[in-house]
Structure 1
Amino acid sequence: MNRKLRMGMIGGGNDAFIGAIHRHAAFIDGKIELVCGALSINKDIALESGRSLFLPADRTYTTFEEMLEKESTLPAEVRMDFVTIVTPNFAHFAPAMMALEKGFHVVIEKPITLNLDQALALDKKVKETGLILCLTHTYTGYPMVKEAKEMIKKGALGKVRKVYVEYKQGWLSRLTEREGNAQAAWRTDPSKSGKSGVMGDIGTHAFNLSEYISGLQVSELCASLNTVVDGRALDDDGAVLLRFNNGATGVLMATQIAAGEENNLSIRIYGEKGGIEWHQQEPNSLVVKWLDKPAETYRAGSGYLSAIAKQNQRTPGGHPEGYLEAFANLYRNFSATLAARLDGGSVNTDIVEFPSVTEGIRGMAFIDNVVNSHLSTDKWVTYSIG
């Protein structure tokens, strides 16, 4: 293409948590520009946010309905190409569905919707329209996560036998939702977050990473959820035993009451010949442990990495890259796919890939199955969608 892709944004105003991260990530490669936004449900914040981002007054909207309706009537050479939705969980479905109905491609925060039925409805609409939907499971964007996935895909570790994934945070160790913390308030409110707190917020990331890297799918699970902080309306801690569709087993742990932890996401996967270990807080290293030789540490930016890892690395070896760059990789791969589509072409999906509505459905089904298992008198429940 001989121009930048035009992005609209729903949510992400001056008072938002993740909106600026999305904009930084989208702009890193110089392929995307922000042309319009409905940046807050608060009219004053929406208008001020638009001014601070230098959006035209006539393309700074106060509702997503107004934005999608008016943008759809603009000439093709002016209107946005896609919309990024960075609202809380309960406000994902309606704008995403309307965007697809109006012919716009979609980037959307995870979890994809408030419940599984909404996710399935979005999937149906995506298939009807043929439009592209990118789900921002950020951790799949790290180059060393890509390297781990490729090693397992090519059989370097042999058949996968065991998966351990942990996501530990400590920021909800107190009842911060009643101390003026807006992020805590909606994340612990079932009407806004959904039927699970910790598993919906960060457990879905751990689940997604376990399936993404291993190339497997969870077929059964056994879950226990806890609400540790008195007065909290949703779970803030939990653990899940996993069985995968190749016979492998695993353990998933997610907690937001591990005092002192920041954003400690870690995964270990073991096969017949060896295992891999990756930590989000040290993302440029992938430890590979072998059954019959010394362990190795693979490093981002190195020439010996696979094509998919190289596609998603941005700096020379020894120059750290992290969360923003991983996030940007999702936008780069999405924008390359969209630009090729608009030009009548295609991309190599073996190396230019990103999470889609499929991962969104599996994430919502994971939440349902975890809650059902926790409430059930049965030890194990068969993983199901719908």
Structure 2
Amino acid sequence: MSDTTKRPRKIRLGIVGGGAGSNIGEAHRYAARLDDRYRLVTGVFASTAERSREFAAGLGIASDRQYASWQEMAEKESQRPDGLEVVSILTPNNSHHAIAKGFLQHGIHVICDKPLTTELSDALELVRLTRETERMFGVTYNYTGYPMVRQAKAMIQAGELGEIRLVQVEHASGWASTLLEAQGHKQAVWRTTPAIAGKSSVVGDLGTHAHHLARFVSGLEITQLSAELSTMVPGRQSDDNAHIKLRFSNGARGLLWASMVATGNLHGQRIRVYGEKGSLEWVQENPNDLWVRWGTGRQETYSRGFDWLALEAQQSSRLWPGHPEGFLEAFANLYGEIADAIIAHGDGGRPFSYPFPTVWDGALGVRFVDAAVESHSKDGAWVNATLEPEKERFQ
């Protein structure tokens, strides 16, 4: 289970975005606090200085660290001996690149929501800058922080399912089944505006989560795809549903469904992986269990919290069996791992591997969005979904 004993010093954290009314902002702040690894020292939480400072004051941030813009924050914090060490970027998609670039150039580590950027060239620039500045850069594909997702990955990596043949992954919610943006719904407005959300609203918002989950669990890369993007709600500017066929690096096949119009669905995220010996299934709304089915007909339910699970699953848990953990704990696992990496970096070392999603994973997500849009524009033709050259790989 996760070590909750005394930790090294707290990491000084700043946040851009995620202010009043932002659910994801609350999730990030809770996740950063859960294991007592961070201290929130500064932030810019709104597009106006007055609203940002009011929100910052409510969080107990000192008045001299309540900034009017992220540019001012990066400049002044980088000059302080007690300045922030890492910034979390929780703003709409089209602003991620400029903000992340600015903080990297001031020597500050970055945590960024997905999608990493709206343009692939911008994503690759962040990959390059991360390498050049030798900063840590985490992307919050937070569903890979769940213990039973890590159990699934460990079982596949150990060959328990045999050669992987099929991957079915979906992130199909029903939250935008009506034209919420016409009612002024803040999240719906920016998420369905192409100039803000990017080339594909649904693939960038939900499809990238499913894409990363499929890669993480299977251990395979998606090499080609065939996509159909649809707009189901009349009057909507962006796509809101995607069906994408996948080809994987080992020859496996897959399907990815991303939707914000799956009426009646709540979060709607699940993954099923089929190998030659057996299969497994994980559902985000029942996150403490992993269903495993073998070719012999035997079916098993693996539950979180037991000491016979894979080490990766054990280390991602806090509570004993029968006491559910969920979204915030999974989020906190990524924050904890990023804290470990920052501490190691400050001590002059670098962690051997990055268990959290990195800037490279973020760039692959942007490449996936581009490939889906390209395929759709070619009437679903199969297109390349890899990111070359391989030497760009950041890990």
1:323 aligns with 2:327: yes
Q: Which residue of 1 aligns with 2:202?
A: 198
Deviation digits for residues 193-223 of structure 1, max 9, x if unmatched?
0000111100110111001100000111111
State TM-score, norm by structure 2: 0.94
What are the within-5 Å matches in structure 2 for residues 73-92 of structure 1?
73-75=79-81, 78-92=82-96
What are the within-5 Å matches in structure 2 for residues 138-287 of structure 1?
138-287=142-291
Shift of residue 347 of structure 1?
A: 4.4
**Structure 1 letter corresponding to 2:219:** G
Shift of residue 3 of structure 1?
A: 2.1
Report sequence identity in percent.
44
State TM-score, norm by structure 1: 0.97
Cα distance between partner residues in 2 of 1:357 and 1:200: 15
Q: Which residue of 2 aligns with 1:51?
A: 57
Cα distance between partner residues in 1 of 2:337 and 2:131: 20
Shift of residue 385 of structure 1?
A: 3.2
3-state SS of the aligned residue for 1:283? Answer: coil
Shift of residue 344 of structure 1?
A: 2.9
1:368 aligns with 2:370: yes
Change (3 A) 1:381 1:347: closer
Q: 1:35 aligns with which of 38, 41, 65?
A: 41
**Structure 1 letter corresponding to 2:385:** Y
Cα distance between partner residues in 2 of 1:292 and 1:135: 39
Q: Which residue of 2 aligns with 1:22?
A: 28
Q: Which residue of 1 aligns with 2:3?
A: none
Contact 1:170 1:256 in 2 (8 A): yes
Deviation digits for residues 265-284 of structure 1, max 9, x if unmatched?
01000001001100000000
**Structure 2 letter corresponding to 1:371:** V
Q: Which residue of 2 aligns with 1:3?
A: 9
**Structure 2 letter corresponding to 1:55:** I
1:355 aligns with 2:357: yes
Change (3 A) 1:2 1:369: closer
3-state SS of the aligned residue for 2:36? Answer: coil
1:342 aligns with 2:346: yes
**Range with greater deviation from structure 2 (11-20 or 180-189):** 11-20
Deviation digits for residues 163-197 of structure 1, max 9, x if unmatched?
00111111111110010200000000011000001
List alignment gaps of at least 5 residues for structure 1.
none
* Structural RMSD (CA): 1.3
Q: Which residue of 2 aligns with 1:288?
A: 292
**Structure 2 letter corresponding to 1:261:** N
Cα distance between partner residues in 1 of 2:171 and 2:143: 12
What are the within-5 Å matches in structure 2 for residues 121-132 of structure 1?
121-132=125-136
**Structure 1 letter corresponding to 2:99:** P
Shift of residue 293 of structure 1?
A: 4.5
Cα distance between partner residues in 2 of 1:283 and 1:84: 25
Cα distance between partner residues in 1 of 2:133 and 2:144: 26
Q: Which residue of 1 aligns with 2:384?
A: 382
3-state SS of the aligned residue for 1:240? Answer: strand
List alignment gaps of at least 5 residues for structure 2.
1-6, 389-395
Change (3 A) 1:384 1:353: closer
Contact 1:204 1:366 in 2 (8 A): yes
Q: 2:302 aligns with which of 293, 298, 312?
A: 298
Cα distance between partner residues in 1 of 2:379 and 2:312: 44
Cα distance between partner residues in 2 of 1:66 and 1:345: 30
Contact 1:365 1:384 in 2 (8 A): yes
Cα distance between partner residues in 1 of 2:378 and 2:99: 34
In the comparison of the two structures, how many residue pairs are matched?
382
